[in-house]
Structure 1
């Protein structure tokens, strides 16, 4: 599949990029996409929730009233869950929400997501660019030229580029990743995918192993 290569002004350079059909034109597997997105979101959970139970509450161990003769229920500890300030019954404990997923399923999910975006004509190929110094204004200029100013966009670089990354960091709707950091969730969450020329080889290599 041939796609025109654009410059950062949004104009065609006269060159064409060849997008592999094995990555950008497969029949999407919805279940693989679901599993990969589910795993990604599960890994975002810290799992550090914790409530103190009866044995962890700081308080006196004295029997708070005599066993008989009070006319009320027996009570042996101020730390009992039935009293205010007592421990919590079956409270949340730290937990790892991570899920395992086969590498081949993850590759299939990412290829499916890219194929969906390709079918929607939401993939742009842009020649490599750089900024002399990190500047949000310069990155906003690129977004405006590509018609992505008010859209969610995902820029995929071949290698890490600190200037481009820092220039985009303050913009809520844009994200910059390398070809090895791309995920199914990030692909689907963006309205448009911007692939830099240097990212194509690494992306296709990672997804066709």
Structure 2
């Protein structure tokens, strides 16, 4: 697959870049994408939830009244979960929600996401972008110039580009990530994926 390379001003450079078929031209594996998105969202959970159970409540352990003869139910002590301020029955405990995925599954999911965007015409190649200083207006002008000012936009850079990233932070529907940190969830969420020319080589290294 070949795509035209656009400049930062939105015009065509007259050059085309050959995209590797094993990354941008595979048959999408929907199940791999589902697993990758599920693992990503699970990893966002802190898992620090905690509720005190009966054995952790401060209170007397004295039996409230005798077992029989009162006409009342058997209650045990004041820490009974049926009482107000009692312990919680089967309350949440701290846990790790991480889901382990094999490397091949992660690669298949990412290639499926990139191939889906390429097949739908939502993938764009631009020259490597750099700003002298962080400026939201410059980044907004760049998106307008390349025709990506609508919807959610993901820009994939070759390496960390602090000024480009900071220029995009104030735009709610724009996200900048390096090729090393881009994930399937962000790819699928984006309406338009812009790949810097230098990021293609970085992606090739991941699939080598």
TM-score, length basis structure 2: 0.94
Matched, 1:103 2:103: yes
Q: Distance in 2 between matches of 1:14 and 1:74?
A: 84
Q: Does 1:59 align with 2:49?
A: no
What secondary structure sits across from 1:121 in the alignment? coil
Residue 197 of structure 2: aligned partner: 197
Return 5+ residue gaps in structure 2 as ranges.
none
Q: Deviations over 1:147-188 (max 9, x none)?
A: 222210111011101101111112111111111111111111
User: Secondary structure of 1:175's match?
Assistant: strand
User: Once the two structures are superposed, what CA deviation does each residue of 1:181-207 show, in whole Å capped at 9, x if it has no partner?
Assistant: 111111111011100111110112212
1:106-145 counterparts in 2 under 5 A? Answer: 106-145=106-145
Following TM superposition, by how much is the alpha carbon of 1:68 offset from its aligned partner in structure 2, in angstroms? 4.6
Q: 1:44: Cα distance to partner?
A: 1.4
Q: Secondary structure at the match of 2:142?
A: helix
Is residue 2:33 matched to residue 1:28?
no
Q: Distance in 1 between matches of 2:134 and 2:56?
A: 50
**2:172 is matched with which residue?**
172
Residue ranges of structure 1 left out of the alignment (5+ in a row): none
Aligned in 2, Cα 1:76/1:22: closer, same or farther, shift over 3 Å? Answer: closer
2:73 aligned residue: 73
Question: What corresponds to 2:182 in structure 1?
Answer: 182
Q: Give the match for residue 4 of structure 2.
A: 4
CA deviation after TM superposition for structure 1 residue 116, in Å: 0.7
TM-score, structure 1 normalization: 0.94
SS of the equivalent of 1:22 reads helix
User: Quick one: distance in 1 between partners of 2:75 and 2:22?
Assistant: 70
Structure-2 residue corresponding to 1:155:
155
Following the alignment from structure 2 to structure 1, what is the Cα–Cα distance between the partners of residues 114 and 155? 13
Distance 1:187 1:137 in 2: 24
- Give deviations 1:37-59, integer Å, cap 9, x for gaps: 12111111211111110011122
Greater shift after overlay, 37-46 or 117-126?
A: 37-46
- Report the count of equivalent residues: 208
SS in 2 for 1:156: strand
